[in-house]
Amino acid sequence: MERYSTSIDERATFGRMNILRSFVDQEGNVGSGDIQILHSTNYGAVEMISGADSTPVACNFSFDMAGVDKLLHVVILALCNKSSMYFVCVTTATTEFDFGTLTLSSLKLLGDAHLNNGSVRLTNDLAVPTSGAGKVLYSKPIRFRQPGTHSITSFITFFSFYISNLNPSSIGGGLAFVISPDSETIGAAGGCLGLLNTDGLGSGFVAVEFDTLMDVEFKDINGNHVGLDLNSLVSSQTGDLGAINIDLKSGDLVNAWIDYDGTNHVLNISVSYSNLKPKEPILSFIIDLDQYVNDFMYVGFTGSTQGSTEIHSIEWWSFSSSFDSISGPGSSSPPPPTTSLMNPTANSVKSPPPSLARTGSDSISSQEKNSKSSSCHNQLCKQGPGPLQGVTASAFLAIFAGVLIWVFSKRYKHVKKTESFASEVIKMPKEFSYKELRSATRCFNANRIIGHGAFGTVYKGILPETGDIVAVKRCSHNSQGKNEFLSELSIIGTLRHRNLVRLQGWCHEKGEILLVYDLMPNGSLDKALFEARTPLPWPHRRKILLGVASALAYLHQECENQVIHRDIKTSNIMLDEGFNARLGDFGLARQIEHDKSPDATAAAGTMGYLAPEYLLTGRASDKTDVFSYGAVVLEVASGRRPIEKETSGVGKVGVNSNLVEWVWSLHREGRLLMAADARLEGEFDENEMRRVLLVGLACSHPDPLTRPTMRTVVQMLVGEAEVPIVPRAKPTMSFSTSHLLLSLQDSVSDCNGMITISTSSSENGYIGDDIV
C-alpha cells in the first residue's frame, strides 16, 4: 500500500472534502475500494491510502462560490494507481470582503466591542472616564502563508474610523488594525490597546496602531501617531500624523490604507482625511512577515481607553488578500457602502469564481520516479495516460463549465433593470421594492408621518425582512421633486461621515420616488430646541454644533468634489440616540470642483439662514453655508429662531425680529452673554458660551471673505484656534448692481416683508447690512 497526500484548503472552498469508498474498474464500473481517510484537520491536509490494485476514485465535495447561496456538488474524478495519481481540485487562495457584504455572523465581537448604527464601536460610550478594551475580528481565519513554503500572501485593507471624546479634557487610548492567530482572547486596556496583557504576555501579532496618548513605557513619539507593532507594543516603525495634518482626537473621519506585497515584502501605510489615497504613504518599508504569521491568521481591530471617555468607531472596512498580485479597495478611492452590518443583505464573503488548480504535483513527480523500479499490476498503468484519462478530464471540464454558466445565469436573473433616469446616479445605495416600503409604512399611513420637507413627506417605517426602523421620504411627484431625488441620491449616496444622515436606499416604482434613511430617534434639532418639555442641556448643544461643523468641513474640504448644502437649518439637523448631530436633506445640495466659481441660480433655502450675497447674486459657495451655520449657532445658543415677529411676551420684550442683529447689538453693548438661552438658567460654562456666540457672529459676518472656513470653525470650537476679533458694531457690505446677476424678483419671490433694500447711500449699490 502506498500513501498519497494532497493539500485541500477547506476554508477557501467553504466545504468538507469526503473521499468516497469507491473505485472505477477498467470497464468504467464503480465498485468497492480500499480508499480511506487517514487524517483530516480543519484547514489542513487530507491524506489517503490507496490499495495497490486501486483504480480511479471519485472525490466529492461542496463549496460556496462567489457568494452564491446554494451549495454546489461537483464530482471530480481522480485517477489513482500505484504508479501515478491525477487529482484535480477546485480551490481559491483569494479572500475578499467589506462592510457591504458582511453579515452579523461574519464578525466576532470581544470585550467592549459592539455594533452601533451600522458601525463597530470598539469601546463603550460612557461619559465617565474609564479604562476598557474591545476587539472585532472577521470570524473566519485567512491563509497568510502557504504550507511548507515561505510564500506570504499579499493583502490590501482600507478602513474609515473616527476617535471622538465625550469629554475633550479626558484623553487616552487608541485603536489598531491587527493580524492575530488568536480569536478568543483580548489584551488589557489602556496603553496595551487590547493587544497584550499588562505582563506583556499574549499571542504573537502584527498590528498597525493609531495612538492618542504618548506612553513613555512604549517609547511613543507623541500622542498622535501611527506605528507598526510586531509582537510588541514598542513600535518598530512610527509616523507622526501631525506632519500630514491629521489629528486623531479631532473626531473627524480618518481613512487608512495598509498594503503588503508578499513577493517583495513591502509594507505601505497611508492615512488621509480624503477618500483619495495619498500619492505618498506616511510609512513605507521592507519587512518579511514570514516570522510573524502562521499559516492561518485572523484580521480585525482592537481598541482601548485609558482613563478616558474616548469613542473608537470603525465606520467602513474592506479587505482583500491573494497569493497572486492583487488590486483591491486600497488601490483607489473606496466605494461607498451599499448595506450595513445592521441591515445585511449579502453573504459574508465575496469570492471570485473558483479556478482549477493542480495539486499534488510533487507527489506525482515522485510517483513517476518510483514507477521505474516497480512492475505494473494492471493494463491501465501499462498503457500510461491514455484515452480514458483524456475523456475523463474533458468531461469534467465540460461539466464544471456548465455548472459555472448555470450558477451565474441564475444569479444575474435577479438583477432588476432600473428606471432610465437612474443611470444618471453613480454608486447608488440599495434599491428597495415599492412593495417592501409600502408594507414598512403601512400603506403610507398618515399616523406614520413624522415630518414634512420642502419636496415631500417623511414616514416612519419598519422593514419587514429585518425589523429595522427607518425613515422613508416620499418625494413630490412634480419635476422639482424628481430633481431633488436625483440630487439627494447622487450626492449623499457617495458620502460617508458620522455626522451625516445615512441613506440606506431608494425606490422608483409605480411613479413613486422614495428615499430610505436611518431613523433618528431624537428627531430634529428644531423640535428639541422649541418643542421639548425640558430645555436641551448645554453639553448637548455644544456637541451638536461641533458635529455639524465637522460634517460641513467634510463636505467643503475633504470630498473629491466640494459639496455645497444650501439649506442648513435646525430642521435639517437630526439627532441620534446619543444626541449626536446628523446633517440631512441634501435635496438642494450641489457639487462643484474645488477652486471653481459657482454658477448663478435662483436663491434656494430658508429665510433667516440665507447669506446676503447669495440672495442678491444667486451664487452659492462654501461661505454661504458658513453664514447659514452661523445662524444655527446663534439659534442653538440663544434658543430663539433666526427670524421672529416682535413679541411682548415674558423674556422677549424689545427683542429684534432678526437674531443676528439682536446678538450683535448685545455684543456692541458688552452684554454678549445676555444672548444665552434663559431656559438654561445659567447651567453652562460662560467661557464656552462666549466662544460659541463669537463663532456664530464670525460666521454671520456680512463680508463672505471674512468668514472662517468650517475647518477653522471646528478648531475654534475645540479650543485649538482662537476666535477672530469680532467688531462691536456689525460691519456693512456693499453690493454693486453690476454684480447682481439676478433681479430681486428672481432671487426671492416672497420674503414676508423681512427684507429691506437701502439705496440712499449709493445710486448704484445695495447695502448688505440692511438685508436680513
- Distance, in Å, from the CA atom of 118 to the CA atom of 116, rounded to the nearest integer, reads 6
Instruction: Show which residues are catalytic.
Output: 567
- Distance, in Å, from the CA atom of 456 to the CA atom of 586, rounded to the nearest integer, reads 13
Nine-digit cell string for 410: 441564475
When mean pLDDT is compared across 215-219, 247-251, 333-337, 699-703, the lowest value belongs to: 333-337
- Distance, in Å, from the CA atom of 633 to the CA atom of 690, rounded to the nearest integer, reads 12
- How confident is the model at residue 409, as a pLDDT? 58
Nine-digit cell string for 631: 445662524
- Residue 10's SS3 state is helix
- Distance, in Å, from the CA atom of 39 to the CA atom of 21, rounded to the nearest integer, reads 15
The mean pLDDT of the chain is 72
122 neighbors 305 (Cβ within 8 angstroms): no
What are the pLDDT digits (tens) for 575-619? 988 899 999 877 666 655 444 444 434 445 577 888 888 888 888
- How confident is the model at residue 544, as a pLDDT? 96
- Distance, in Å, from the CA atom of 58 to the CA atom of 78, rounded to the nearest integer, reads 6
When mean pLDDT is compared across 401-410, 509-518, 557-566, 737-746, the lowest value belongs to: 737-746
- Distance, in Å, from the CA atom of 270 to the CA atom of 422, rounded to the nearest integer, reads 34
When mean pLDDT is compared across 170-179, 191-200, 218-227, 294-303, the lowest value belongs to: 191-200
341 neighbors 316 (Cβ within 8 angstroms): no
Residue 181's CB: how many other CB atoms inside 10 A?
Answer: 15
When pLDDT is averaged across residues 664-692 and rounded to a whole number, the result is 94
Beta strands 503-509; 430-431: pairing state: parallel
What are the pLDDT digits (tens) for 437-480? 999 998 898 888 888 766 678 999 988 777 788 999 887 665 55
- Distance, in Å, from the CA atom of 141 to the CA atom of 156, rounded to the nearest integer, reads 16
What DSSP string runs through 592-607? E-TT-PPPB----S-T
Amino acid residing at 484 = E
33 neighbors 24 (Cβ within 8 angstroms): no
- Distance, in Å, from the CA atom of 538 to the CA atom of 581, rounded to the nearest integer, reads 14
- Distance, in Å, from the CA atom of 591 to the CA atom of 570, rounded to the nearest integer, reads 22
- Distance, in Å, from the CA atom of 331 to the CA atom of 336, rounded to the nearest integer, reads 15
Task: List the domains of the chain with CATH numbers.
Answer: 2-92+353-410 (no CATH), 107-322 (2.60.120.200), 427-518 (3.30.200.20), 525-770 (1.10.510.10)
Task: Find where cell 461537483 sits.
Answer: 74
Task: Find where cell 429684534 sits.
Answer: 656
In the predicted structure, residue 14 carries a pLDDT above the cut 90: no
E strand or H helix at 401, and its extent?
A: helix 387-412
Whether residue 473 is annotated as binding a ligand: the answer is yes
- How confident is the model at residue 52, as a pLDDT? 37
The 3-class SS string of 341-363 reads CCECCCCCCCCCCCEEEECCHHH
What are the pLDDT digits (tens) for 32-48? 333 333 333 333 333 33
